[in-house]
Amino acid sequence: MSKRALVTGGAGFLGSHLCERLLSEGVEVICMDNLLTGNLDNLSDLWGKDGFHFIKQDVTEYIHIPGSLDYILHFASPASPIDYQMLPIQTLKVGSLGTHKALGLAKEKNARFLLASTSETYGDPLVHPQPETYWGNVNPVGPRGVYDEAKRFAEAMTMGYHRFHGVDTRIVRIFNTYGPRMRLEDGRVLPAFMSQALRGEPMTVFGDGSQTRSFCYVDDLIEGILRLLRSDEVLPTNIGNPSEMTILQFAEKVRELCGSKSEICFKELPEDDPKIRQPDITKAKEVLGWEPKVSLDEGLRRTLDYFRQKVGGTEKS
């Protein structure tokens, strides 16, 4: 194997897909996760494969990896509203201390470092769609602030190491992504809708459902991340699907796909929940030659197969 990579948060939804893709390309992969929100089941296809290693560790502690490293991909963090509101201190620590430890290792190993940042750095945006040049509209003391500010700090720390220490860094701002290996109860919109529809339970829409999101299938996202990793682009880059739809439209599409008779019920919109969310991917197209390929219908069909297995059947009779 010609290259060697460390993936923090590698047992999570995105981290596990990244480990799998890197391994398939002949990269030796060291997966690190403390399993706070990650799941070893996500790595079940990788156990025993040549070049795959797992280390159970919290990345906020000192990281020791014997031998050389070519890449460090820092994906460790609670990433859903339910998770980071239940784990606020851990979320802040992994974004600050964890990023510091991972960057220190990149400096020591002379490895290229990629930070998994988020569209949440834009907060509840006043600019639409959101380009990388937009600085955001974030409430630092609101319930989502622990995640938003942890990622904004992580970006600042990454650029600090790049400018002061000369570390070779990349920053990807990830927009809403879906696909197999999402946790049923992680609080994000697709797992919530799909699991509720399959069980015949009411589908919960917050607010009046007019808020918008843009959904990118996981395979497309991983392709964009790896293109960024291997590019020369240092500043943040949006990776996501610019095809925008309302949450209510999305709920109806999921319900139809599942063949469900679930009712749609409305609940109060959470504080600081973004009203609009759509990536401007002009930079990704021009610099990386990347744009999403998998249609929403196709991606949802692939995801439904996974959720049917997890839920244990279709809706209740």
268 and 129 share one domain: no
**300 domain residue, yes or no:** yes
How does pLDDT run across 68-115, given as a tens digit for each residue? 999 999 999 999 989 999 999 999 999 999 999 999 999 999 999 999
228 and 272 share one domain: no
The whole model's pTM is what?
A: 0.94
**170 domain residue, yes or no:** yes
- CATH number of the domain that residue 222 is part of: 3.40.50.720
Which parts of the chain register pLDDT below 70?
1, 313-317
Ranges of beta strands (E only) in 98-226 are 112-118, 169-174, 177-178, 203-206, 212-214, 216-217
**22 domain residue, yes or no:** yes
Per-residue pLDDT at 270: 80
97 and 222 share one domain: yes
| Whether 143 contacts 82, CB under 8 Å | no
15 and 49 share one domain: yes
Per-residue pLDDT at 1: 65
Q: Measuring CA to CA, which residue among 143, 161, 56, 48 is closest to residue 104?
A: 161
**282 domain residue, yes or no:** no
Active site residue 147: yes
167 and 204 share one domain: no
69 and 127 share one domain: yes
Q: How many domains does the chain have?
A: 2
**40 domain residue, yes or no:** yes
Two tokens at 282?
A: 């002009």
Work out the number of other CB atoms within 10 angstroms of the CB of residue 257.
17
27 and 44 share one domain: yes
81 and 195 share one domain: no
Per-residue pLDDT at 313: 46
170 and 253 share one domain: no
Range of the domain at 210: 183-214+243-277+293-311
**165 domain residue, yes or no:** yes
- Which phi and psi (to 5°) does residue 129 adopt? -65, 175
Tokens 């829409």 -> residue? 205
**286 domain residue, yes or no:** no
Length of the chain (residues): 317
173 and 130 share one domain: yes
Per-residue pLDDT at 311: 87
Per-residue pLDDT at 317: 29
Among 71, 122, 147, 178, the one annotated catalytic? 147
- CATH number of the domain that residue 253 is part of: 3.90.25.10
47 and 107 share one domain: yes
Q: Widest CA span of the chain, in angstroms?
A: 62
Three-state DSSP class for residue 216: strand
How does pLDDT run across 241-277, given as a tens digit for each residue? 999 999 999 999 999 999 999 999 999 888 877 888 8
- Which phi and psi (to 5°) does residue 71 adopt? -135, 145
- Which phi and psi (to 5°) does residue 200 adopt? 75, 20
226 and 269 share one domain: no
**198 domain residue, yes or no:** yes
